[in-house]
Amino acid sequence: MIRLSSLTLVAALLAAPAFAAPATDPYYKAGEAALARNLAITPNTGRAKNVILFLGDGMGISTITAGRIFEGQSRGVDGESSSLSFEKLPWTALSKTYSHDTQVTDSAAGITAITTGVKTRNKVIGLTGAAQPEQCATEAANRVETIAEIAKAHGLSAGAVTTTRITHATPAGVYAHTAYRDWEGDTDMPLEATQAGCKDIARQLIEAPANLRLDVAMGGGRSRFLPDAAGGKRGDGRDLTAEWRKASGAAYVTTADQLAALDPARTGPVLGLFANEHLPYEVERPILGEGVPTLAQMTTKAIDLLNKNPKGYFLLVEGGKIDMGSHLNNAKRTLTETAEFSKAIQAALDKVDLKDTLIIVTADHSHGLVISGYASRNAPILGLAGNEGEPIVAGDGKPYSVLSFATGPGGPEGQNLRADPAKEDMDDVDYHQQALANLPSAAHSGEDVGVFADGPGAWLVHGVVEESYIFQVMRHAFGFDADKR
């Protein structure tokens, strides 16, 4: 019986299928290396001296995926296996972005959740969900502190950097409390709101109490701070930039050279307004970007300025035009801005010490960008979908692009049939990817967005979380008591 069993075992082994040795397979080896890196991660449970919140406005998961491919292909490497700087951070989560009153949030409610821990209504900034959009009377009783204001109250410094107007929804979510996100300047407000005592967002930045006012504010939006006579849009005749400069050592800069020339050791609060409205897209820099600093340059200078405070700082850095490119159904702008956002994050990572600095990268909401099959590996991400090199033909006899949108100006108008993308220059900087439904501006989408983190408290970023939870991670990392100052 023993001999028969042994022969049976040998026969079974000989009959088993042969497997290839995986040790030399590049995917297998990459997986082994990734496992080794993850096994070496030790959670940093210490307190954070500094917190930098990077927010890619509208940067959903599909935008990150397309952005990594685009960035890699732009460098002449394999885009699909590339990584953006923040994708290498060890702690990740998914964030549920619905607002207090809608399935799909806007930037105002999104940033309020992240900076205050409270979900609110779309269009509302820095107020609880009890506030009503465009109702000035609901502001006073529903104000809620932001993480920047809490940091300032504890003696830390605070700042905001953006590629949009500094009064736009996301940067305003650091310092403003308003029933309507579009009340950026006094001429943006109805008369009844100003008569009732509500302040425009630019005034709120300048007039904040000294112990709460931002130490660094950089972006666009100069028009909301200057009177008409000085090329601005203010109807009250005030020059808010002059009022900013009244603070001890305060500086006001409008060009990249002026920003670079600032000596952090000798400079007080800094207001940098580098355009009348939003900053130009990166693809427009050769034409419209003269004198405009990059997001990376603003970020590193902001860190230098804020780092003077031995108690630490909070800093928001927004890649705001990622969202604006998607609103246009213009993937080239969206992905270029995503790559620039990644550069700014890498510049910060190269500058700070993750032993005492928490970095969190996330988005306020997603966009309806879709990556459709089945283009060949390394095929242009801005090109046509295909199969074995040949474009795939849809039911209408026309090919379709790898990238498309659910809604937006790229959709068919009226009874018009879908255009043939093969007859268009899809690499043109102004090309609009096709959309299912035509809208003047593409709608946001409601799927979860990514959260990436490293530094003290980053280990708390895991699982599927509420967008408002991100505030709690930052508060806890700083060591701020929720109930005491």
Please give the positions annotated as active site: 107
CA separation (Å) from 99 to 33, 174, 200?
39, 18, 23
Residues 251 and 262 sit within 8 Å (Cβ to Cβ): yes
The gap between the terminal CA atoms of the chain, to the nearest Å, is 81
Buried b (16+ CB within 10 A) or exposed e, 122-143: bbbbbbbbebbbbebebbeebe
Cβ neighbours around 432 below 10 Å, total: 20
- Give the whole-angstrom CA distance, residue 112 versus residue 367: 19
Residues 6+ apart with CB under 8 A from 337: 163, 281, 282, 319, 321, 322, 324, 325
Q: Which two tokens stand for residue 100?
A: 């207090």
Sequence letter at residue 52: I
Residue 298: name the closest of 417, 168, 449, 161 by CA: 161
Helix residue spans in 60-200 (DSSP H):
61-74, 107-116, 147-153, 169-175, 191-195
- Residue 85 gets which letter from DSSP? G
Name the β-bridge partners of 316.
53, 160
Distance, CA of 56 to CA of 326 (rounded, Å): 12
Query: CA torsion, points 66, 71, 72, 75, in degrees to nearest 10?
Result: 150
* Residue partners of 233: CB distance under 8 A and separation at least 6: 185, 187, 223, 224, 226
Q: Collapsing DSSP states into helix, strand and coil, what is residue 408?
A: strand
Distance from C-alpha of 181 to C-alpha of 35, rounded to nearest angstrom: 45
178: number of Cβ within 10 Å:
31
- For the record, the structure tokens of 387 come out as 């199969």
CA–CA gap between residue 179 and residue 257 (Å, rounded): 37
CA angle 201, 207, 213 (to 5 degrees): 95
Q: What share of the chain is helix, strand, coil (3-state, %, to 5)?
A: 35, 20, 45
